[in-house]
Structure 1
Amino acid sequence: MAELLVIRHAQASFGAGDAASYDRLSDLGHKQAEVAGRALRETGWVPDRLITGTLTRQKETLRSMGFDAAPQTHPGWNEYDFHDLLDARFGGEMPDLVREDRKTHFRTLRETILEWQAGGLSGARESWSDFTARVEAARAFATAEPVERVLVISSGGAIGQLVAASLEAPPKQMIALNLQIKNTSITRFVFSGSRFFLHEFNTTPHFAPPGAADLLTYS
């Protein structure tokens, strides 16, 4: 069976005041991507296709991993717009604590996603059903060509939804999975025709060597 490796982008600029500022890798993020790319090549795993979403942090991750070929892009691999969802929840006036304190931010994000899944946040630019449909479209795009190894750089929410869908898990499991996903972690699927299975989730063997554990981040 063919393999689909979906890697979460490296660390972005958490705490930035707007989506555009967030959508760039931090210095640590570039280092994470370099280590992940080197480790992948050392195992002899060479992709036949490279795909990213359209986000800057995803494209920067692929470049810093050392893959120079121009990737294909599909917007279905993009993250849900959490800035927009939080703005919809708080009427455009997100509390400073939610923006600046990591623990408060992620607790509030979880609550917001559950509300979104339940049909709330009507002012958001993207509905939950639209999000799940585009992730499925991205999966179909990535697995459509007759190749053996596909490498995708995506984001935590899209990966969480892809895993949940592959396991036929309830929607609330998406955010539970999402919040576990480490920067540059590898989630591996195998596929053949219409068959599509999760093989491993959220692994970071490239952070196992001594000293590399300090590179581990979640946002």
Structure 2
Amino acid sequence: MAELLVIRHAQASFGADNYDQLSDLGHQQSELAGEALRTSGWVPDRLVTGSLTRQHETLASMGFAEPPEQHAGLNEYDFHDLLSVRFQGNVPDPVRHDRKTHFRTLRETILEWQAGGLAGARESWKQFSDRVENARRFSTDTTARRVLVISSGGPIGELVKASLGAPDAQMMALNLQVKNTSWTRFFFNASTFLLHEFNATPHFSTPDRAKMLTFS
């Protein structure tokens, strides 16, 4: 079967006015991920990303200069919008700037969203899950044997959840575990889509690199 390797973007700029760009550490993480991929001998013959800057910057810093194909279904859900809807446009400062508070609140918000709440959000839970599935079909409708995808934590959690037939709530439990530049690998053919590896970071396996591991 063919392989779909989905890598989460590197560390973005948490708390900055423009989150959608890599931090200096994010560029270093990407370089290490690309180096590890080449060392393993895994050479992609198709590149796919979403349309987000942090996804494109990750691919470029990994050492892939050629323009990828794009599918917006690989983009993250708009957590800024979801939080704004939940707090009626007045998101508390700790939710915006304190990591622990942010991710605890985000989990609660996504579960509410999945249950049909947050009326007025730009995207419903069903629209999100449908577009991720469309992106999966797009990425696997190919004669390529090794497809490299750069995506985000939410879509990766949803891809894994769907491949296992797990409940919707499991998506967020998976989402919060996904490390920056981690590898999630699937095997696929025309009738099968199987999870083979989740959230691997071989490029951070040594003690000096372990401190470079991040989740946002």
Give your verdict on TM over 0.5: yes
Letter in 1 for 2:55: Q
Give the C-alpha shift of residue 100 in structure 1: 1.1
Q: Which residue of 2 aligns with 1:10?
A: 10
> C-alpha separation between the residues in 2 aligned to 1:194 and 1:96?
47
Give the C-alpha shift of residue 209 in structure 1: 2.4
> C-alpha separation between the residues in 2 aligned to 1:54 and 1:117?
24
Letter in 1 for 2:2: A
Q: Which residue of 1 aligns with 2:83?
A: 86
Structure 2, unmatched stretches of 5+, are: none
Q: Which residue of 2 aligns with 1:74?
A: 71
User: 97-106 or 153-162: which moved more?
Assistant: 97-106
CA distances 1:97-147 after superposition (whole Å, capped 9, x unpaired): 111111110000000000000000011000000000000000000000111
> C-alpha separation between the residues in 1 aligned to 2:46 and 2:191?
19
> C-alpha separation between the residues in 1 aligned to 2:67 and 2:207?
33
Q: Which residue of 1 aligns with 2:50?
A: 53
Give the C-alpha shift of residue 215 in structure 1: 1.0
Give the C-alpha shift of residue 166 in structure 1: 0.4
Give the C-alpha shift of residue 77 in structure 1: 0.2
Q: Which residue of 2 aligns with 1:195?
A: 192
> C-alpha separation between the residues in 2 aligned to 1:60 and 1:36?
13
Give the root-mean-square deviation of aligned CA atoms: 0.6
> C-alpha separation between the residues in 2 aligned to 1:139 and 1:108?
28
- The answer as to 2:118 corresponding to 1:121 is yes
Equivalences for 1:65-214 in 2 at 5 Å? 65-214=62-211
> C-alpha separation between the residues in 2 aligned to 1:213 and 1:133?
35
Give the C-alpha shift of residue 210 in structure 1: 3.6
Q: TM-score scaled to structure 2, two decimals?
A: 0.99
> C-alpha separation between the residues in 1 aligned to 2:191 and 2:138?
12
Give the C-alpha shift of residue 214 in structure 1: 1.4
Structure 1, unmatched stretches of 5+, are: none
Give the C-alpha shift of residue 16 in structure 1: 1.9
What percentage of residue pairs aligned between the two structures are identical?
A: 71
Letter in 2 for 1:200: E
> After the TM superposition, which segments of 4 or more aligned residues of structure 1 sit over 6 Å from their partners?
none
CA distances 1:47-99 after superposition (whole Å, capped 9, x unpaired): 01000000000000000000111100000000000000000100011000111
> C-alpha separation between the residues in 2 aligned to 1:93 and 1:42?
47
- The answer as to 2:204 corresponding to 1:218 is no
In the comparison of the two structures, how many residue pairs are matched? 216
Q: TM-score scaled to structure 1, two decimals?
A: 0.98
> C-alpha separation between the residues in 2 aligned to 1:215 and 1:203?
14
